[in-house]
Structure 1
């Protein structure tokens, strides 16, 4: 692909790692053109990578306790076994899915996590990012840098990682995604970015003010007033905004300009972005604004966050995962109580304050559910 992924951050629930052992080939290769041509009998084939993951520990219901201490001891034993199981699944996910290596805990955390580990290549030579675990609502956070992304996407396609994250682990949003375009002909340099900013090509919405432009050059004057750059960079937007642009002379940064090499890089830093951007990075880049569309010739693939869809998908996705995790148990309970659904719901209802969605969700949910939208639409 012409547009590369240069930075990737995502967060997932630790307990969802248990789904990796049941990942089907259709879960991870749903968007593979070859898979779509195959017959339906192949859609539920277990992914070969899933066979590396251990099976989930099962609580022994035949255990007979003689005292309350026995019960607590067994619960602690099972809790420890389950935590070891999840830790093993995390290491296997890093190794077999991402193709990286997770080092030993560093003894301190990052990004509000109590513990962290370094990510490296399989040989341990290249630093690829961090993994944060511990606390923070029982989640695990991945921060993969540019070097790590090169190794990850040399092993698997971006749409394949989308399948693992979205269909298996329930990740719907990327904390950060950097898309980069490399120009080796000098067509899309800093001057081009300034001209595009003057023509308001960085605007992503018809309303509001245009993003801020900052020229961040470093140079000295030579003979006849010629500028000799040590840094050539233009940034557009704010580091705290959802979209932030960097256009800079990569050859200067890598000390290659003295050899006559031309290399300009255009980077777009996206925050809290829809994971569907992994399905088509080129199209997602082209759909951002007029500036990116003038660089990438790929058909636009709009992944800009849309509040209306996000609201409804919050509810529909929750129902999807509830059905996936507890559907069999609910079916058994309904059968046990002769189809008395209100009685089953009453049995499962938790005492105390309920979780309620905002009032503004109601109309949006109905507008989508009335169109018979499947929860999987939120994942495609």
Structure 2
């Protein structure tokens, strides 16, 4: 070990060394001087700032992002600055969820049955059944939404997509799927996503049905746009009108407000006419939120009315309760009326001919009716009739040798 060299002060007398030694009183004096200097500096800075404020003319802060001073919240996600979807308080349940996309990491599922994609999808199916009341019923022959593989949920109630997107799973629920899901699915999905890994909503559609058209007509929606009732504090959003607005022909008209690229848009359209009833006053109002340049909070699942009311000033005035069951009943009724008209127009003459020959209406019906078959639009969507789920079918036993080989382990 190298020796430590000591330095000595040459010709240093004892009284010189004593004078160079600091005692406690010296430290106290130095500290007092430092604190005094800091106080004086702070007082000078405060005085200068006050003098500047008094001398400067009154000014307002510039608008944020050219929105005319609109207030909004920004959050960070993955290192990006995103807009947080606005929320207000609404006493009434004025809307329901009519379309949904959620994603989460594959680690969110209880993957205990093996390591193959087949076994993993069965775990996803089991989770879907616990939330919605129905699971996966079939595999499609291609992927979708940029995922490698896709599967059918229930009786065409949605899709599950997996593979090729950073180990995430996409679960899509259509409007029919939202109606078919077991009561309370929104709360169960909310709790699942809260406990999941990177779980989030990537699309959610909130809808209100105005069966009698008492809130608005297509014409009044157009006027509401002109009057600024879709202006949420910034510039007027884009607007587009589709259908025959000049000479309405009973096929329905739609007013689109906003752009999907901005993550928020509105659709107001004649729902009854879309279902085939030319004289129906039924209007539907939909707000679509996308996870584009914004974050869609998970609370949209359990308090959708708060986000629906905050989307546009026009929607904050809605008060009638939105009932999914009543909407399903109205939809089935509309399909039934359309079916009767179609049958009379397309087959009425043929049925009359058969009646003239057979002489009995029941016999004619027995000849043409298909047992156990109903038109798609007439069937009431329900998790109780969603089909057989993959995870309930008999599965082949996964060889343990392959299990260990997959993880490069050695059996004991």
TM bracket (short chain) = 0.5 to 0.7
Question: Aligned partners of 2:238, 2:95: CA distance in 1, in Å?
Answer: 24
1:220 touches 1:229 (CA, 8 Å); kept in 2?
no
- CA deviations over 1:111-131 (Å, ceiling 9, x no partner): 11111111123xxxxx21211
Question: Aligned partners of 1:135, 1:245: CA distance in 2, in Å?
Answer: 32
1:94–1:268 Cα change, 3 Å: same
2:103 touches 2:168 (CA, 8 Å); kept in 1?
yes
Bigger RCO (CA 8 Å, 6+ sep): 2
TM-aligned CA deviation for residue 5 of structure 1: 0.6
Alignment-derived partner of residue 9 in structure 1: 101
Alignment-derived partner of residue 270 in structure 1: 289
- CA deviations over 1:127-186 (Å, ceiling 9, x no partner): 21211111211111011110011112x4324233211222x2245531100000000121
TM-aligned CA deviation for residue 104 of structure 1: 2.8
TM-aligned CA deviation for residue 197 of structure 1: 1.0
TM-aligned CA deviation for residue 2 of structure 1: 3.3
1:219–1:213 Cα change, 3 Å: closer
Residue ranges of structure 1 left out of the alignment (5+ in a row): 19-53, 58-79, 122-126, 222-226, 299-380
Question: Aligned partners of 1:190, 1:233: CA distance in 2, in Å?
Answer: 7
**TM, length-normalised to structure 1:** 0.54
Alignment-derived partner of residue 132 in structure 1: 161
- CA deviations over 1:261-290 (Å, ceiling 9, x no partner): 321000111101222111211122112221
Alignment-derived partner of residue 193 in structure 1: 221
Aligned counterpart for 1:210 among listed residues 224, 233, 236: 236
Aligned counterpart for 1:290 among listed residues 313, 318, 328: 313
Question: Aligned partners of 2:117, 2:243: CA distance in 1, in Å?
Answer: 51
1:202 touches 1:211 (CA, 8 Å); kept in 2?
yes
Question: Aligned partners of 1:157, 1:129: CA distance in 2, in Å?
Answer: 14
Question: Aligned partners of 1:290, 1:219: CA distance in 2, in Å?
Answer: 24
Aligned counterpart for 1:244 among listed residues 254, 262, 265: 265
Alignment-derived partner of residue 10 in structure 2: none
1:11 touches 1:174 (CA, 8 Å); kept in 2?
yes
Report SS of the residue matched to 1:111: coil
1:14 touches 1:139 (CA, 8 Å); kept in 2?
yes
Question: Aligned partners of 1:111, 1:285: CA distance in 2, in Å?
Answer: 26
1:286 touches 1:297 (CA, 8 Å); kept in 2?
no
Aligned 1:59-74 pairs, distance under 5 A: none
Alignment-derived partner of residue 105 in structure 1: 139
Question: Aligned partners of 1:157, 1:119: CA distance in 2, in Å?
Answer: 15
**TM, length-normalised to structure 2:** 0.50
Alignment-derived partner of residue 204 in structure 2: 177
Is the aligned partner of 1:164 residue 2:192?
yes
Residue ranges of structure 2 left out of the alignment (5+ in a row): 1-92, 322-412
TM-aligned CA deviation for residue 212 of structure 1: 1.1
RMSD: 2.3
